[in-house]
Every structure is written in structure tokens, then in C-alpha cells.
Amino acid sequence: MILIIGCNQKTNKPVKEKKQETRQNPVIKRIAELKAAGYEIVDYHAHLKGGLSMEELLDLSKKTGIDYGIAFNAGVGFPITDDVTLLANYNRYKDYPVYIAMQAEGREWVDMFSKENVSTFDYVFTDAMTWTDKKGRRMRLWIPEEVFVDDKDDFMDQLVGKIVGVMEDEPIDMYVNSTFLPEVLQPDYDNLWTNERMDKVINAAIANNIAIEINARYKIPSETFIKRAKAAGSKFSMGTNNTDKNLGTLDYAIEMIDECGLEPNDFFKPVKK
Ligand SMILES: [Zn+2]
């Protein structure tokens, strides 16, 4: 590739410089080092969204060294609402060299799909971004118009209760978009995620053998949370939750490996079925 990097000021002719095909991104370099040291670098929360094809994703994987788990959203209001559509998606993609995941949505999914079909997937995950509060208001926390915060602490206590409930009641391998707060509460993240609240989530994850996602898009959970969870013996996963073609390079998760001293054994490892 020839890049024009400026003009020679005396001759006014373009100055050309030969560059390598891919300029080395420091995160990609760090990913290669981590893999050499025994880490599996997998984005377990990738979606074929925004027109992203499996072929494009595999090309990207070659460039970055990141492996992928492709997740299909299933639940009320999503394209997959029954066993037939659930299995059709699995069968369409199962032979590709990626993990195939079910992203269970809302709280109703447990009764919508058979256990047998759910267990076909390499792993299953959900988040606690969709729930109904004690006044009966169904919220999707990423949509500001659907969020109701009458009192911050009361909201947090309900949220933590929902997260723990999801972990205790739903057969999942991974809790994603971990510790996500609606936009209105994000500036207070560090104050609202008190030690007591963090510990309730961490303890429930460990008790139910559920990995906690380090999410690269939202840059959550905080470093404080991750260090606390590691000290308690929690397992982690890395994920992006892309909404378009831009999958990035797991930058925040890679940064947290170094900042929090995470080791290969601290990470969740599914078995490819
Ligand atoms: Zn997702």
C-alpha cells in the first residue's frame, strides 16, 4: 500500500512512503503476546448485525487473532421465539470455526424453548437489562424512555435483586453487559455499586458457576469490581455486544487483563459441540 503522507515543501511533489499492509495496532500485538502466554482470546459476545457476514468476521479474526462466539438473540420481541427458529439458526452456522451461543432475552425465555434445544448451543448467556420493577413497569435499561428511577438506591437494590434472581433461576453460563446502569445513573456508577452490592452479584455468580462478562463496548464492570470478583474466585469472559459491523479488538477487556492481573485460568472456557 502506498500512502501519501504530505508534500515536499521545495518541489511541491507528493511524498510517498511504503507501509506494511496492516499497521500494527498495539492491542493486536498484546493479543498475540497473551495468546503465546496461554490465554484464549475470544469475543464470546459477537453478533452478525449491521450486515456483518460470517466471512467478514472470519477475515477479521485472522487479522486480529481474536476468536469468536456468535450469539443469536432469542426471546419476546426478537427474531427467535420458538424451538424451530432457534434450531434453524444453530444449524445454519454450526459448521463454522466459531462458538455458537444463545443470547436469552427478557425473563420469559426459560419457558419458551425446550431444555434440549437450548443445550445444543455451546453456551447460553443473558443480561439483567430487561426486567419489571415492583410497580409493574417492564424496563429495558438501554432505552432511556423505558427506564424508571424513583429513588437511586431503591432502583439499585431492585437491580441487584434481579441480577441475583437471574443467576439463581436461569440456566445460563455467562452473565453479560455486567453491572450495566441506565444512562441516567451512569455518572454515579462508582457510588451506586457499593461493596455490598458488588458482593451479592459476585457471590451469586460463583455459587451458580456463571462467568461474568468484561464488556468492551460499555467498558464494564469497573476495575474495582473485576479485582474484587477475581479475589473471590469468579470466572470471566470477554465480549463486545456489537450493534453494527464494528467489532473492535476487545480493548477494554485486554486492558483489564493487565490492570487486574487476570490469568488464563480466570476465564470461562466452553466446549465446542
Ligand atoms: Zn448481545
- pLDDT class for 3, splitting at 50, 70, 90? very low
End-to-end CA distance of the chain: 41
Which neighbouring-strand residues pair with 103?
Answer: 73, 125
- pLDDT class for 22, splitting at 50, 70, 90? low
The Å distance, Cα 258 to ligand 1 centre, comes to 25
The pLDDT > 70 percentage for the chain reads 92
Let me know: does 161 contact 133? Beta carbons within 8 Å: no
The Å distance, Cα 205 to ligand 1 centre, comes to 19
The Å distance, Cα 6 to ligand 1 centre, comes to 42
The Å distance, Cα 241 to ligand 1 centre, comes to 4
The Å distance, Cα 103 to ligand 1 centre, comes to 6
pLDDT digits (tens, 9 = 90+) for 94-123: 999 999 999 999 889 999 999 999 999 999
For ligand 1, a single-atom ion, the residues with CB < 5 A are: 103, 241
pLDDT digits (tens, 9 = 90+) for 216-264: 999 999 999 999 999 999 999 999 999 999 999 999 999 999 999 999 9
**What pLDDT shows up at residue 2?**
42
When pLDDT is averaged across residues 79-100 and rounded to a whole number, the result is 96
Please tell me the pTM assigned to this model.
0.90
The Å distance, Cα 45 to ligand 1 centre, comes to 6
Please, what is the average pLDDT of the chain? 93
Helices and strands, counts by H and E, the chain: 9, 11
Q: Is the pLDDT of residue 158 over 80?
A: yes
Beta-carbon contacts of residue 130 (< 8 Å; ≥ 6 apart): 105, 106, 107, 138, 139, 140, 141
What's the CA gap between 79 and 73, in Å, rounded?
Answer: 7
The Å distance, Cα 11 to ligand 1 centre, comes to 54
The pLDDT > 90 percentage for the chain reads 88
- pLDDT class for 1, splitting at 50, 70, 90? very low
What's the CA gap between 197 and 190, in Å, rounded?
Answer: 11
CA distances from 114 to 149, 151, 210 (A): 35, 38, 20
**What pLDDT shows up at residue 24?**
76
What's the CA gap between 194 and 180, in Å, rounded?
Answer: 14
What's the CA gap between 56 and 48, in Å, rounded?
Answer: 10
Q: Is the pLDDT of residue 28 over 90?
A: yes
The Å distance, Cα 90 to ligand 1 centre, comes to 16
Backbone angles phi, psi at 219, to 5 degrees: 55, 55
Q: Minimal CA–CA distance to 43: which of 266, 248, 264?
A: 248
